[in-house]
Amino acid sequence: PSISNCTINMSWLLGEIKQFALESCDLLVDVLLEDGFLVPTFEQLETLGCNSSHDTSPSEPRLPQTFLRFWLPLLKVLNSPSFIHVLLEKLFVELKLLVKEPNNHRAFYISAWTSEVMLCNSNKFEYHFETKGQRKARMKDRIFVNRIQLRWQQLLSACLDAPCISTPHLLQLILDDMEHPLPLETQQRLLQLCSIYTQTTQSELNASQVHKQQPIYTLESLHEKLQHSRRHSQPRRSEADLERSESSQENRCADVQAEKAKLLRGSPWQVCTDKILWRNFPLGKVPGQSDDPSCLMVEHYSTMTVFDQPVELESNAARSVPGVSAPARTAEGLLWNHSDINKLKSGLQLF
C-alpha cells in the first residue's frame, strides 16, 4: 500500500481507539499495561534498537527515546484529563503488585511511564529561562502539553503505598508539583523516611549514583548528622575521647560528693544525692521533715550562758529626731528595770 493509504488507515485506527477510550477507558489502560505494549518485550526493544539494559538508573527511570516516540502518536490522541488520571492510578496499582512479586524489567517501565506522565505536568523553575528552541524540543516528546489538575493527595498516597527503588524519585516529582505543597520540613522528613525504607543493597546503590536530587539516607547517616549538630561548636573528637571525657567528669563529681560526705562525718547532717525539686520546699525545711519543732533537736549538744550586757531602757534614754518634737512615751503598769533584765539574761542558755 502507498504512504497515503497507510496514513489514512493510521488515522482511522487512531480515531477508533480514541472512541473506544471514551467508552471503556479502564479496559483500554489495562490492555496498554500488559507485556508487549507499554511494557516492551526484549524482542521489541531489540527491533527498535533500544538497549534492554536501560541507559538510565533504576532509581530515576526514563524511557528510551525511540520507544517513547513509538507510542507518542497514540498517547497524544488519548491525553484527556480523565485518561491521564486513570493511567496514573493503574500505573501505581501495578507498581504495588510488583512489590510482592519483584520483576525488575516490568517495574522499570511502569516507573518510567509514571515519571514521564508527571514530568509532562511539571512546571519547574528551571524551565522559565529556556529558549523557544529548547522549549519546542522539550514539548516534542511530551504526551500532553497543557497542565492538568491532578489528584495530588491520591497520588501521594498511592506512591507511598507502592515502595520500590524509584519511589523516592517519584515522590520528589509529586512533592515538587503539588498545587498546595506540604511544608518544606515535612517534605524533607518524608523523603528521608522513604529513602530509608526503600534502600537496597550496596551494589545496587553504587550502580544508581546518577543525577541524585535527594541522597539515600540510612539510620547510620542520620545518627552521624545528629552527633555532628551536637558537636558543631566543638572540635571533632573520637568516640574514645568522648567516652574518656564523660568518665572523667563522672569521676570528678564522685570525688566532690565524697569530700562533702567526709567533712560531715559524725555530724547529724548528710549530703543529699537524691533528685529532689528543692523549689517545692520552703527555706529552712528539708524533705521528710515534720512540722513538729522538736524534730530539730539533736541528741548531743553543749550549753553556754548568755553574757551580761548593758541594756538601755527606752524610758531612760529618750531618742529624738531632729526637727520633730514628740511627747514622752508613758506606760501604764510596772516597767522592767535593769535588775530584772539581768535576772532574765542569767537564766537563758544557748545550745
% residues pLDDT > 90 (the chain) = 25
pLDDT at site 111: 95
**What are the tens digits of pLDDT across the range 314-344?**
444 444 444 444 444 555 556 777 888 887 7
* Angle at which helices 167-177 and 184-197 cross, to 10°: 170
pLDDT at site 33: 95
pLDDT at site 287: 79
Locate 13 and state its grid cell: 485506527
Helix (H, G, I), strand (E, B) or coil at 35: strand
pLDDT at site 193: 87
pLDDT at site 7: 73
| Amino acid identity at 111 | S
Locate 329 and state its grid cell: 512615751
pLDDT of 212 strictly over 90? no
Mean pLDDT, to the nearest integer, of 98-102?
A: 82
pLDDT of 116 strictly over 90? yes
pLDDT at site 226: 73
**What are the tens digits of pLDDT across the range 145-192?**
888 889 999 999 999 999 998 999 999 999 998 888 899 999 988 988
pLDDT at site 41: 93
pLDDT of 268 strictly over 50? yes
First to last CA, the chain: 127
Torsion-angle region of 60 (φ positive above 0: left; ψ -120 to 50: alpha; else: beta): beta
pLDDT of 217 strictly over 70? no
